[in-house]
Amino acid sequence: MPYVKIEVTREGVTREQKQQLIKGVTDLITEVLNKDPHLTHVVIKEIDTDNWGYAGVQTSVLREQGITADKK
């Protein structure tokens, strides 16, 4: 039973985008590992930007400063 956990910051990921992620990951697991899609579980966890950080700074603070991961 494959279990895949996707963590993203809570910044407007739509229901449709989540469905695309779930379907895409399930299809990939099925294709690459030959696993039954009915036994593949995909969980998407949204994390508030106050609770996510990198380079020693909260993501919410970096966003306020107009800094993203690709600008560091």
CATH code of 52's domain: 3.30.429.10
Give how far Cα 58 sits from Cα of 5, 44, 68, Å. 22, 21, 11
Confidence (pLDDT) at 9: 93
Active site residues: 2
Supply the range of the domain harboring residue 51: 3-71
The number of residues making up the chain comes to 72
Model confidence pLDDT, tens digit, residues 6-58: 999 998 899 999 999 999 999 999 999 999 999 999 999 999 999 999 989 99
Q: Which two tokens stand for residue 13?
A: 């990921």
pLDDT class of 72 with cuts at 50, 70, 90: low
Confidence (pLDDT) at 67: 78
How many domains does the chain contain in total?
1
pTM of the model as a whole: 0.82
